[in-house]
Amino acid sequence: MLTRKVKSVILAAGKGTRMKSELPKVLHTIFDKPLLGYVIDSVNKTGYVSENFVIVGHEAEKVEAYVNENYTNAKCVLQSPQLGTGDAVNKTMPYLKDFDGYVIVICGDTPLITSETIKSFIDFHEINEADLTVMSAIFENPKNYGRIIRDKNKKFIAIAEEKDATAEQKAVKEVNAGIYCINWKTVSPAFNSLQNNNAQGEYYLTDIVKWAVNQNLNVQSYILDNNEEIFGINSKLHLSQAIKILNRKNVEKLMEDGVEIIDPDTVYISPETEIGADTIILPNVYITGKNKIGSHCKIGPFSQIRGGTQIGNNVRIGNFVEIKKSIIKDNTNVSHLSYIGDSELGSKVNIGAGTITANYNPISKIKSKTIIKDGANTGSNSVLVAPVTINEMASIGAGSVITKDVEPYSLAITRSPMRIFSNWVKTKIEQLSGGIK
């Protein structure tokens, strides 16, 4: 149990020029979840952090809208203009004026950092009775990272940024991971003494290390075990690499937990999706958002499941099927070429090939619900226009457009009578050939 309260400062003010996008860097997504969301969630899941301060700047209103909509323990703080990471943390001074605890500082573009690592980092800080702890990592090629500088006695004394480092300092392989744990009452005065006499003309957060050393404070470094966790997103290439790293870890964990994934290289599954043991995931399946899938299901190939979906046990989701924000109960089949959105499907329902739930009204912008109760089935190429309910054991004829509720055990058909015109094709051919056979 920690002896002090913990709050966080999350740096999310940058434009992300190399992303070459109008969207703020921290709002780019992995599995439909913004990078910033991964960081805030990891901080919250430690169970230690009571409040988060998100530093916003570029397109601040967009970032703030996301934070306010999704988090109750996060407050956005504006940094304008952006004068460096030290200045960013300094903007929280009015909110932390009387705070006597630990402050975690972390970047909002590092979606791979885990709550377990952050928790261990905070524990390390307290166990070592540190005033300031910096997370570090060992890289064989440390280019672009700030270097951890130690004296001849191996004591941690400073961080040298790449652009300001000497040739000797650039040879150092221990780098700054960009995550800090600060005894706020003791170290916060450092932010009032930061200088911007560097190559960037910015106020570096890293300079608080030198300040703390000069004050004879206890400065520690926590060496990270898995360097992938501090992978920062600075380009679309980095984004794609992070997706692969996160997906690989998640897919491997699912297989360890009893999920059978036929081809891990072609399957993408969000880390917020739960899947029961003995479910089979076939190739080219894409699952985003937060979902729950039961046991003994078969998903794919070429299926997409979007956020907000709950699937029971022994369910079949087949090829070229898309499921979005729906509940599907046990022993139900959605096997071919179908779209099920904003729907509730009971147990032992059979969805015929090509069935879609027409859930969106483009004029009113309203999405409505389709309910298909136990034992009902739809014929191929059916369109169910929401809001609509297909009751127990009802059947929908192939090719029907259903706009009204269907009673239990009923058959609903909306189909023009079939007409056959004998020799129609033969007559057309003769007309086109001028009567020549």
Q: What percent of the chain shows pLDDT beyond 70?
A: 99
Q: Are residues 186 and 53 in the same domain?
A: yes
Residue 369 CA to residue 388 CA, distance in Å, equals 7
Concatenated DSSP letters for 161-187?
A: -GGG--HHHHT--EEEEEEEEEEHHHH
Would 154 be classed as within a structural domain?
yes
DSSP 431: H
Average pLDDT of the residues in 44-69: 97
The answer to whether residue 358 is domain-embedded is yes
Q: CB within 8 A of 240, min separation 6: which ones?
A: none
Q: Mean per-residue pLDDT for 409-413?
A: 97
State whether 245 and 196 are in the same domain.
no
Whether residue 129 is found in the same domain as residue 62: yes
Regarding whether 274 and 181 lie in a shared domain, the answer is no
Res 436: pLDDT: 56
Mean pLDDT of the chain: 95
As for how many domains the chain has, the answer is 2
On whether both 294 and 390 belong to a single domain, the answer is yes
Domain span at 224: 6-230
Instruction: Work out the pLDDT band at 437, boundaries 50, 70, 90.
Output: low
Looking at residue 57, the DSSP 8-state letter turns out to be B
Q: Which two tokens stand for residue 329?
A: 């109960």
Distance CA 376, CA 391 (A): 7
The reply to whether 24 and 142 lie within a common domain is yes
> Given this model, what pLDDT does residue 162 score?
87
CB crowding 140-177: b at 16 or more within 10 Å, else e: eebeebbbbbeeeeeebbbbbbeebbeeebeebebbbb
What pLDDT, on the 0 to 100 scale, is given for residue 143?
86
Check residue 435 and give its pLDDT. Answer: 62
Look at residue 381 and tell me if it is in a domain.
yes
Q: Give the residue numbers marked as catalytic.
A: 336
Burial 67-79 (b: 16+ CB within 10 A, else e): beeebeebebbeb
Confidence check: pLDDT of 327 > 70 = yes
| Nearest CA-CA partner of 23 in 15, 31, 13 | 15
**Portion of the chain with pLDDT greater than 90, in percent:** 90
pLDDT score of 90 more than 70: yes
Mark whether 280 and 358 lie in a shared domain.
yes
pLDDT value, residue 277: 98
Q: Is residue 311 part of a domain?
A: yes
Confidence category of residue 199, pLDDT binned at 50, 70, 90: confident
pLDDT tens column, 167-188: 999 999 999 999 999 999 999 9
Single out the residue in 201, 230, 259 at which a domain terminates. Answer: 230
In this prediction, residues 284-296 reach a mean pLDDT of 98
pLDDT tens digits for 49-61? 999 999 999 999 9
Lowest-pLDDT range of 146-150, 250-254, 303-307: 146-150
- 390 and 307 in a single domain? The answer is yes
End-of-domain residue from the set 205, 230, 255:
230
CATH for 112: 3.90.550.10
Query: Is pLDDT at 1 greater than 80 in this prediction?
Result: no
Q: Rounded to two decimals, what is the model's pTM? A: 0.92
Over the stretch 19-28, which tens digit does the pLDDT of each residue have?
Answer: 999 999 999 9
